[in-house]
Amino acid sequence: MKKLKRYQYERYAVLCNLAYSPVLKQTRYGFAPKGQRVINNRFGKPMIRVLWRNDHDEVVVVIKGSHNVIDWLFNLKLWKRSCHSLLLDYPIHAGYLSLICQESRPNHKEDKLGASIYEQLLSVLEPHIKEGKRITFTGHSSGGALACVLADTIEKQYPKSIKRVVTFGQPAFGGFKMTKHYRLNHKTYRICCDLDIVTFLPPLPGLYLHVGKLLWLYNGKIYENTPTLIRLSRSVASWLMRPFSYHLMSKYIRNKDFFDER
């Protein structure tokens, strides 16, 4: 597995943050004037953005996380379901499956009436894949889980079409069978910041597991593939000790910039 470079991390993090905005002006971030397609959810709100440059072989798919009450309620569907139309070899979180299979309200003249989120996305990506471009998926929270599922599905249908998957604060979406059949372990980077409680969800140890390489941003360092139990115990211990850490002289020295220079 290649390392995720700083500029790549920053780029995907910025795009995931912008995904929550009603409008994303893609030319400000180096994409082509006509290099964006928006895929709406069932309410006609942007859920996925597909971004590209004409002179570059990478297409970026950005998926935002839960952004309305109904989507949050889908997170509570903790049982697993299979879906043959996704071509997956394993069942996934029923709530995330519902999000992928919901009807996408058309946003573009080429969008199809009655198509699901997955079908609409595939119709946008297929021409790029046939041109030889490769797809990067990125997403925040449940959007990161959906990014993994959709990337794995497309990888099965179009082998070697996925460049990488980068997720931020992602919950788990499958179990043991998923860890055995997920095709993109070597291309998936799962980024977690400090004690992000969502990354420990769903709260069913053993029934839900993670895939890919974990990059844990903690105490000013990056830790790789730290086991969940160790990460949780360290985070809780740090949280409990935090009030005492403010007593250390290092804290006082670090805050010297609050004072004007004389």
Sequence-distant (6+) residues with CB within 8 A of 60 are 12, 15, 50, 51, 52, 135, 136, 138
Task: Report pLDDT digits (tens) over 133-161.
Answer: 999 999 999 999 999 999 999 999 999 99
Which of helix, strand or coil describes residue 47? strand
Identify the residue with better confidence: 252 or 122. Answer: 122
Amino acid identity, position 175: G
Please name each of the domains of the chain with its CATH number: 6-226 (3.40.50.1820)
Find the range with the poorest average confidence among 130-139, 151-160, 195-204, 253-262: 253-262
The residue count of the chain comes to: 262
- Kindly tell me if the per-residue pLDDT of 194 is higher than 60: yes
Strongest mean pLDDT among 61-75, 131-145, 215-229: 131-145
Gap between the Cα atoms of 104 and 116, Å rounded: 5
Q: What is the chain's mean pLDDT, rounded?
A: 89
Angle between helical axes of 142-157 and 117-130 (0-180°, round to 10): 50
State both tokens at 128.
């790029």
- In Å, how far are 27, 52, 113, 205 from 189, measured between CA atoms? 26, 21, 34, 21
pLDDT tens by residue, 174-187:
999 999 999 999 99
Pick the closest to residue 140 from 168, 174, 107, 178 (CA basis).
168
Of the candidates 58, 42, 28, the residue with the CA atom closest to the CA atom of residue 125: 58
**Longest pairwise C-alpha distance within the chain:** 70
By C-alpha distance, which of 225, 41, 50 is closest to 154? 50
Q: What pLDDT digit, counting tens, does each position of 71-121 carry?
A: 788 888 888 998 877 888 899 999 999 999 999 999 899 988 999 999 999
Instruction: Please give, one letter per residue, the 3-state secondary structure of 134-198.
Output: EEEEEEECHHHHHHHHHHHHHHHHCCCCEEEEEEECCCCCECHHHHHHCCCHHHEEEEEECCCHH
The H-or-E segment that residue 239 falls in is helix 228-245
pLDDT at 262 over 70: no
